[in-house]
Amino acid sequence: MPLEQVCLEIKRGDSWSRIIYFEDASNARIDITGWTVFFTMKAKADDLDAAAIISKTITVFSDPTSGEAEISLTSTDTAQVIGSYLFDLQIKTNNNEIYTVLEGIINITQDISIRTS
**What is the structure's pLDDT at 5?**
84
Who contacts 89 (Cβ-Cβ below 8 Å, separation ≥6)? 20, 37, 38, 39, 71, 100, 101, 102, 103
All residue ranges of the chain with pLDDT < 50 are none
Domains of the chain: 4-109 (2.60.40.10)
**What is the structure's pLDDT at 2?**
59
**What is the structure's pLDDT at 25?**
87
**What is the structure's pLDDT at 20?**
93
The pTM of the full predicted model, rounded to 2 decimals, is 0.89
